[in-house]
Structure 1
């Protein structure tokens, strides 16, 4: 029953977003997550052991003449919603490699053909609704960015609602249960108490607060890597700016960006230069070992240099990951620099130059 409620709620949100866009209303939908059966499957069954597949002709004859796994000659209803929302098509969950799932932030398609709501209503191997929700939970907890702000189209309780009618408790309780299960933390925000209104007068006026900023414990911990980080932000934000609220916010954000850039260079240094220095140190020590022979001091120095190099490479990899998150949907497959960088990092960090077995050292 819980799975059916989740399916119904998500379907209603999709319909609401679709008609809001059609009617010219402003859309705040950052992503589209699709659950269902063959009517919405975008290719998940291509990766399952089942005869219920649609990756052969004539499927897809109106979809660039390509059989993608959709059970239609063209687009599915989920694709049409994505177009109306200005979002890319939600890729099939099983069609995205595990190492690239964190790059997909505009939605995922979990639908699977020949599957019903119940686990027993299926033909061959497929993704039941329980399995789809399990994958969605994995996406939220492991693949998505650790912090995001959005209009979640639901309130947490009556304290976030003002109107003549009593708000429904079921959506609030289900959303709170979901956020508690995946370990989400609600960040305190400032500004207007209610962020949505139906713009009516008198007793028909309704106001809600569906907008919120959430994160997990890992994201909060990352903010405290350096003890001076919070102080820099607080000092920059305290500086007075005069004007309307939006002008003040934009001005403070621009100034904070400049301050953090300077602080990053002065305190943390140039990460790319640190990688080069660490690699040069490793090469220097290994050249000494090759020319002067094995020595315990040199071997200890080599271990320490390798650790320093790995730390610098991990810092650089984090930078490339963040850049890839921002640029992926803009540059699409042209954004290959990150993947080339990861390949080089793995070649360096996982390479083996010698083996030590007791007192015996084996080299190339």
Structure 2
């Protein structure tokens, strides 16, 4: 199946463009995170950076779904990546006296990325068959893990030699390369049929909300990933402190964290190939359970070996989460609504991510890293166990109905 997918020229261009831009993104994330922490020596400064990428995103996330479902998807991804070239390059003008500029540019880049991701997610089911969606998403995941694996080594060396500006320049260049690749995709845009004359932007966008509330599996994904969004912001906020305080590796130690996550992610396509017949929702919930337990161990570990090993497992589990959440949305939601449903998904995650960012610093000061991870992870574990019980009861009831009919 993977060979057939790679013969699909449009799919290959989409994935290759995304792969190149993701390398730039990870170099940029390394540069901006280490830069902010080194300048301020504060977890709060890092949290504010993530907050600036989140607070004002929500209205743009709403618009991103509407845009993805209403306009030429190829044009959208080309324009958003081209605009990202400019904003990524402007990071080199930031300095100690202009830290506010870092927050503004981070927000603008994130907003463009939201439009791009919503559009690519909505575009994928038009380029591959429904049966190929899980494999397609696993290729995206594999390439993303590869970029995570390559970026720390490149980023660490370049940061030591030339500072953060070279990372920002490479990020801008990666967006330009992606723009060129996306422009070669052969895509026929079919203008969506207008529903009603008086249907406005808000009513049209809310259709996405109405569609996903009718699908139980998608609702489960939304609920679980909302809790996970808080946990994810804890990780992004605390990881520099884990490296610097718990492991005594200085802030640059987060580079090794990225390596571990990448190693776990690289094994995902092989795992997916072995479990193709398993229920997608069951795999999603199980990978979430593994992730929750992994973060508890990560938060309490003072050993580099233990931390590295658990991050490998987290890399595998989180990639499985991402693959099957996207696949379930793409396969359960009508194509004409995928952009809007995915934008509501991102709005929900962003809202809970903001919550996570707001409480991360107070939790850090009050109960420490390990206990902070434990609190959120336990909520996630309990919810997942209830979902497994619900799935088991549903299967049992269906089996009883089948036996009664026979």
Length-normalised TM-score, structure 2: 0.23
Higher Cα Rg, which structure: 1
Specify which structure has the bigger relative contact order, considering alpha-carbon pairs within 8 angstroms and separated by 6 or more residues.
Answer: 2
Write 1 or 2 for the structure with the bigger share of helix. 2
Length-normalised TM-score, structure 1: 0.25
